[in-house]
Amino acid sequence: MSAAGDVLAQVSDPRLVEERRGQIVRAAVKLFSEEGYYPTTIQKIARAAGISTGLIYQYFRDKDDILFLTLKMVLDTYEHDIPPQLEGVGHPVERLCMAVWTYCRIVDGLLDATVLAYRSTKTLRADRRVLVKDAETRTNRLIEACVDECVAGGHMQEVNTYLLAYQLVAFAHAWALKHWSVGRRFALGEYVAEGIKLLVEPFLTAKGRRVLDAMQARTDAFGSLGRKARRRAPAGGKRTK
């Protein structure tokens, strides 16, 4: 019997497996998001991906495999893409702000998949739900470690770092979960700047604030990026390009 995390394929070429699975997962994410997991059939996924139903079964055993690999892709991206962006960022306050920015930027690129992770994790087999929760916990610990460094260095007041890390993670996820609303009001850079103002700045000590002030002066705390990219929609309308 295969392990919970195994997604077996009949094809042996790793490059082809990665390419085909990406094609299938992209189609599945769209359908799962629009129609829901249960109404979406393998046949619908095949049509959306532009391939035959039989070909899907060369790369996945069933629909649970497709959903699991989709959610794993989201969580792996969080876990693997945040640390490289923190390399060379020496100050704890700046590292925390960069971690929040990077997390939100990743979510921005995975809006539908992030919403799907919230909506459909409970649909997975129980053993796979454990793997998904473990992966999310590892990412939370990346954020928590940044908060811990701020507290240890005297740049942040004593705070429940576990809960604050969860609030920051929830803030990043909210960019996808409530994008229909916040996406109308803020560009991504503005959203991150406001989040740092609400969830980081109030807990900083005097010397921590000095570092944040210097960072804001140098980068405008991502706000300048946000204003340049900002797109507001008319009331009741869609975002304009």
What number of residues does the chain have?
Answer: 241
Q: To which residue do tokens 């989709």 refer? A: 70
For the whole model, what pTM was predicted? 0.83
Q: Is 68-229 in CATH node 1.10.357.10?
A: yes
Strand partners, 204: 156
DSSP state of 102: H
pLDDT for residue 66: 93
pLDDT for residue 46: 95
Q: Sketch the domain layout of the chain as residue ranges.
A: 1-61, 68-229
Record the tokens describing residue 171, joined without a space.
């803030």
Q: To which residue do tokens 């459909």 refer? A: 120
Q: Is 1-61 in CATH node 3.10.580.10?
A: no
What is d(CA 163, CA 176) in angstroms, rounded to the nearest whole number? 21
Q: How many Cβ atoms sit within 10 Å of the Cβ of residue 19?
A: 12
pLDDT for residue 228: 39
SS3 letters across 68-115: HHHHHHHHHHHHHHHHHHHCCCCCHHHHHHHHHHHHHHHHHHCHHHHH
pLDDT for residue 237: 38
pLDDT for residue 223: 54
Query: Phi and psi for 10 in degrees, rounded to 5?
Result: -85, -15
Helices (H) and strands (E) in the chain, counts: 12, 0
Per residue of the chain (241 residues), give pLDDT as tens.
Answer: 457 777 888 988 999 999 999 999 999 999 998 888 899 999 999 999 999 999 999 999 999 999 999 888 888 888 899 999 999 888 999 999 999 999 999 999 999 999 988 888 889 989 999 999 999 999 999 999 999 999 999 999 999 999 999 999 999 999 999 999 999 999 999 999 999 999 999 999 999 999 998 888 877 656 544 443 343 333 333 333 3
What is d(CA 76, CA 18) in angstroms, rounded to the nearest whole number? 15
What is d(CA 232, CA 155) in angstroms, rounded to the nearest whole number? 36
pLDDT for residue 221: 59
